[in-house]
Amino acid sequence: MLSLGRRGLWLGLAAAAAATMAARLMGWWSPRADFRLFIPEELARYRGRPGDPGLYLALLGRVYDVSSGRRHYEPGAHYSGFAGRDASRAFVTGDYSEGGLVDDVSDLSFSEMLTLQSWLSFYEKNYEFIGRVTGRFYGEDGLPTPELTQAEAMITKGLEANKQELKEKQKFPPCNAEWSSTRGSRFWCSQRSGGVSRDWIGVPRKLFKPGAKEPHCVCVRTTGPPSDQTPDNPTHRNRGDLDHPNLEEYTGCPPLAITCYVPL
């Protein structure tokens, strides 16, 4: 029986997969009429060796002609193991052994799938799309398999998680931090701390995130309404986000100080 957390994850993936399928039906993933369909044994002939018909590689089942980057993929080159096959997993893991140069991405995390998407965007931009290879991601009819739909759903969820993380970072920008062997740790806030430009400075607080082992320092707005205030509750105490339940003050640090010291 699935736990509530894991059940929620799979429900989220199912929703993302449904959205992916809907996107295809709406034309966002329209197949190219002139694409070529390879079987793995045929693709294996395209490794850039003398007498080979070309130099191709596949990523998530999509085949690209990488002849223009021959020095990277030809026999003996650093990425030669990618040629003539779909080694999607190795793009993320960096495992270039025969056991690692495979197309199984089923256990990769959301962030790892986003890395894979970045590589896919790179090949779409820089190399010619040739076709698809049958197997894990495309069937013999050239249509996407459930495994490809699942991979795309993971990418969609990863993008959503990134968006939420960015929103959280705008709300609670990370503190500036430094450590000294004589004074311990110093945390402070500025209008650009955490790489987030804003018109307020904020004060350091410990932010406890669900599932995280340790809190981390964030800068918290001290005036105005809370960031998550709903329109139907216009009253507030003009304390910004100071009353957020996941925040905690640093011991010994004045509540409104923009710099806090944590001694050794």
- Domain at 92, CATH number: 3.10.120.10
Q: Is 4 contained in some domain?
A: no
Tokens of 33: 């009429």
Same domain? For 40 and 151 the reply is: yes
The pLDDT assigned to 3 comes to 41
Domain of 185? 172-262
Torsion sign (Cα): 135, 10, 101, 130: positive
Predicted confidence (pLDDT) per residue in 3-42, tens digit: 434 444 444 544 444 444 444 433 334 455 578 999 999 9
Please tell me the distance from the alpha carbon of residue 136 to that of residue 99, in angstroms, as a whole number.
Answer: 16
Average pLDDT over residues 126-137: 97
Instruction: Give the end of a domain, one of 135, 164, 193.
Output: 164
Tokens of 161: 């998680």
Q: Is 1 contained in some domain?
A: no
Q: Please state the domain count of the chain.
A: 2
| Closest among 59, 62, 183 to 131, alpha carbons compared | 62
Same domain? For 190 and 250 the reply is: yes
Tokens of 212: 């995280």
User: Quick check: 43 and 63 in contact, CB under 8 A?
Assistant: yes
Average pLDDT over residues 106-117: 94
Predicted confidence (pLDDT) per residue in 180-193, tens digit: 888 899 999 999 99
Same domain? For 125 and 202 the reply is: no
Q: Is 186 contained in some domain?
A: yes
Predicted confidence (pLDDT) per residue in 49-68, tens digit: 999 999 999 999 999 999 99
Please tell me the distance from the alpha carbon of residue 16 to that of residue 19, in angstroms, as a whole number.
Answer: 5
Query: H or E stretch including 55?
Result: none
Tokens of 167: 């929103």
DSSP single-letter state for residue 144: B
Whole-structure pTM value = 0.65
Q: What is the largest CA-CA distance in the chain?
A: 76
Q: Which of 4-8, 157-161, 254-258 has the highest mean pLDDT?
A: 254-258
The pLDDT assigned to 231 comes to 61
Same domain? For 159 and 177 the reply is: no
